[in-house]
């Protein structure tokens, strides 16, 4: 009943310009890993904090009554408090929140040959399986196992993941490989690239693009080989401590100044171009959340200075709650906008509309890009039509994302992939082929002015049909 009531409120809010809400709760900033790109690594010196259970339950209850459909429990390392986490997940499910997520650095996959390994992994898998958790992510820092293990400070963890995944699958949990994008993606092949090695900036950026494309292919090949059936990419987050330089001030210490996550504008353009090239190649093989429409929008911004039409919903529909003070922020990176306790959140405190594009935090940017056109279609269809006519590539990628998401059962991490439904997304086959051609044109940077003729009424109708069927599947 609570779920239906939650959806009823969500639909009502859609007509006021809102979309299903998302809250990320940082339940603790304690961590036992040593990732150099993160401010919460175990050697970092600051006063660690863990939110009180009662406060988290209060946040959940308020969220359940206010159209929040997605909630992530993050850290630090959330699985350091496994039993508490399981209770909170059950509480959130009872409050009517459907899309429940958490993640791990995988510390319990260490020592895979130890006699207690299977019991250790089974306990985690069965504890989580006995909750309404929908998605579990396992963070990976590199396509190369030895680089990932060295960064996390967990030796043997990759073999542990390989042994553990079948146990999770048997328990009904299909974890996602969450790639934290950095210069360590392909070890020294991506880390050591510098402009000084090339005669021109253009040459450097092409080599950069090629090296990251190769790294991404290696990552997906290895993830599939390990037994993952789902994957996501976290775009690089580097925050300059001098907040005046970019307007950001991190409350979520997963951001860092380390060179390995710092990229300049042109490098980001080449990076998003590499992602846009490689992600479609693997969509039939592994469920990849990373939406091509979002990658395209970010690439257009960094390579051509064209801002997205669909800014981030952080501070409008999406929120972050910090372990340090238990307060609410628009996201983990606008630390100067303390919105107070979540249960005291008032409409007047929120951004007047989605406005921000200051960072590339995929947790908020990807769903904002996906949901933005839906919101426009409900409230101001003329605007979305105008955008589509201005740039026909974007809606076609977006429509394909919607079709792909349906084929992936909306990334339900409690069900096995349906490879039959994913098969049409093999590049160059089925319905996707004409869109691959279009994506190739955009990769080459070709103007697609004549593509406007391709945006016919029938495409517009297809979009509407895809949206209506998507919404009905999501609600049911
Ligand atoms: S990235 Fe995650 S696992 Fe690594 S130190 Fe930070 S919080 Fe811990
Ligand atoms: S784009 Fe979104 S996540 Fe990034 S700073 Fe702005 S509100 Fe925060």
Nearest residue to 222 via CA among 142, 166, 276, 110: 142
Q: Ligand 2 pocket test: which of 328, 331, 350, 367 has the largest number of ligand atoms within 8 Å of its C-beta?
A: 331
Quick one: pLDDT at residue 24? 98
Q: Ligand 1 pocket test: which of 41, 139, 332 has the largest number of ligand atoms within 8 Å of its C-beta?
A: 41
133 class by beta-carbon count within 10 Å (0-12 exposed, 13-18 middle, 19+ buried): buried
CB count in 10 Å sphere of residue 324: 16
Please name the helix (run of DSSP H) or strand (run of DSSP E) that holds residue 425, with its range, or none: none
**pLDDT one-digit tens code per residue, 289-309:** 999 999 999 999 999 999 888
User: For 250-257, what is the mean pLDDT?
Assistant: 70
CA of residue 109 to ligand 1 center, whole Å: 15
What's the sign of the alpha-carbon dihedral 304, 310, 315, 319?
negative
CA of residue 298 to ligand 1 center, whole Å: 25
Judge whether 255 and 237 are in contact, CB under 8 Å: yes
20-360: CATH topology: TIM Barrel (3.20.20)
Domain boundaries, the chain: 20-360
In this structure, which ligand is nearest to the CA of 315? 2
In this structure, which ligand is nearest to the CA of 33? 1
Quick one: pLDDT at residue 64? 93
Tokens of 384: 């979305």
Judge whether 81 and 32 are in contact, CB under 8 Å: no
**pLDDT one-digit tens code per residue, 396-421:** 999 999 999 999 999 999 999 999 99
Nearest residue to 179 via CA among 151, 143, 212, 131: 143
Non-local (6+) Cβ contacts of 14 within 8 A are: 375, 378, 379
Q: Is 291's C-beta closer than 6 angstroms to any atom of ligand 2?
A: no
User: For 236-247, what is the mean pLDDT?
Assistant: 60
CA of residue 33 to ligand 1 center, whole Å: 6
Smallest CA separation from ligand 1 atom 2, residue: 76
Q: Is 9's C-beta closer than 6 angstroms to any atom of ligand 2?
A: no
CA of residue 211 to ligand 2 center, whole Å: 28
Q: Is 314's C-beta closer than 6 angstroms to any atom of ligand 2?
A: yes
Q: DSSP string covering 141-153, please?
A: --SSHHHHHHHHT
Composition of the chain by helix, strand, coil, percent to 5: 55, 10, 35
The edge-to-edge listing of strands for the beta sheet with 68-74 is 287-288, 230-234, 176-180, 135-140, 99-104, 68-74, 21-26, 318-321, 328-329
Non-local (6+) Cβ contacts of 335 within 8 A are: 243, 248, 249, 250, 251, 329
Helix (H, G, I), strand (E, B) or coil at 230: strand
Phi, psi of 276 (to 5 degrees): -65, -30
* Dist CA 56 CA 92 (whole Å): 10
* Dist CA 300 CA 273 (whole Å): 9
Q: Is the pLDDT of residue 460 over 60?
A: no
Best-predicted range by mean pLDDT among 47-51, 433-437, 440-444? Answer: 47-51
Tokens of 378: 């409900």
Q: Name the β-bridge partners of 100.
A: 71
CA of residue 253 to ligand 2 center, whole Å: 14
Judge whether 134 and 412 are in contact, CB under 8 Å: yes
Mark out the alpha helices in 80-235 (DSSP H runs): 82-94, 117-129, 145-152, 157-171, 188-191, 201-226
CA of residue 413 to ligand 1 center, whole Å: 22
218 — pLDDT class (breaks 50, 70, 90):
very high
In this structure, which ligand is nearest to the CA of 251? 2
Q: DSSP string covering 260-280, please?
A: GG---HHHHHHHHHHHHHHHH
User: For 283-290, what is the mean pLDDT?
Assistant: 97
Q: Is 251's C-beta closer than 6 angstroms to any atom of ligand 2?
A: no
Tokens of 344: 């005291």
Q: With pLDDT > 90 as the criterion, what percentage of the chain qualifies?
A: 68
* Dist CA 369 CA 391 (whole Å): 15
Q: Considering just the CA atoms, what is the radius of gyration of the chain in Å?
A: 21
Judge whether 394 and 388 are in contact, CB under 8 Å: yes
């Amino acid at each position: 009943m609570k779920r239906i009531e939650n959806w009823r409120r969500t639909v009502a809010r859609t007509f006021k310009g809102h979309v299903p809400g998302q809250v990320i709760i940082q339940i603790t900033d304690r961590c036992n890993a040593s990732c150099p790109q993160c401010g919460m690594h175990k050697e970092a010196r600051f006063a660690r904090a863990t939110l009180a259970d009662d406060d988290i339950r209060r946040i959940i209850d308020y969220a359940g009554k206010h159209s929040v459909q997605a909630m992530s429990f993050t850290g630090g390392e959330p699985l350091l408090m496994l039993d508490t986490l399981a209770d909170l997940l059950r509480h959130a499910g009872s409050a009517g929140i459907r899309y429940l997520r958490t993640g791990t650095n995988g510390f319990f996959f260490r020592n895979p040959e130890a006699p207690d390994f299977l019991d250790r992994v089974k306990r985690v898998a069965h504890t989580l399986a006995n909750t309404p958790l929908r998605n579990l992510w396992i963070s990976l820092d590199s396509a190369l196992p030895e680089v990932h293990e060295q960064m996390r400070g967990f030796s043997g963890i990759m073999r542990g993941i390989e042994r553990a995944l079948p146990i999770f699958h048997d328990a009904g949990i299909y974890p996602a490989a969450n790639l934290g994008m950095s210069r360590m993606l392909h070890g020294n092949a991506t880390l050591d690239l510098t402009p000084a090695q090339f005669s021109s900036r253009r040459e450097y950026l092409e080599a950069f693009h090629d090296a990251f494309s190769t790294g991404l292919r290696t990552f997906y090949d290895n993830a599939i080989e390990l037994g993952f059936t789902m994957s996501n990419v976290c775009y690089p987050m580097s925050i300059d401590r001098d907040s005046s330089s970019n307007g950001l001030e991190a409350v979520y210490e997963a951001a860092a100044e380390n060179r390995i996550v710092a990229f300049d504008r042109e490098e980001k353009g080449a990076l998003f171009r590499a992602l846009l090239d490689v992600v479609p190649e693997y969509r039939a093989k592994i469920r990849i959340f990373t939406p091509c429409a979002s990658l395209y929008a970010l690439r257009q911004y960094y390579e051509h200075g064209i801002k997205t039409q669909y800014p981030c919903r952080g501070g409008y529909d999406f929120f972050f709650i910090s372990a340090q003070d238990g307060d609410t922020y628009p996201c983990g990176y606008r630390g100067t906008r303390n919105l107070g306790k979540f249960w005291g959140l008032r409409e007047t405190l929120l951004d007047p509309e989605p406005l921000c594009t200051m960072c590339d935090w995929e947790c908020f940017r990807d769903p904002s890009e996906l949901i933005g056109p839906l919101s426009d279609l409900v409230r101001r269809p003329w605007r979305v039509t105008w955008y589509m006519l201005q740039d026909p590539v974007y809606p076609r990628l977006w429509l394909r994302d919607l079709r792909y998401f349906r084929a992936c059962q909306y990334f339900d991490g409690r069900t096995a992939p349906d490879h039959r439904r994913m098969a049409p997304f093999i590049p160059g086959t089925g319905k996707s082929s004409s869109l691959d051609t279009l994506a190739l044109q955009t990769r080459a940077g070709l103007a697609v002015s004549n593509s406007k003729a391709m945006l016919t009424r029938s495409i517009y109708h297809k979009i509407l049909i895809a949206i209506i069927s998507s919404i009905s599947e999501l609600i049911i």
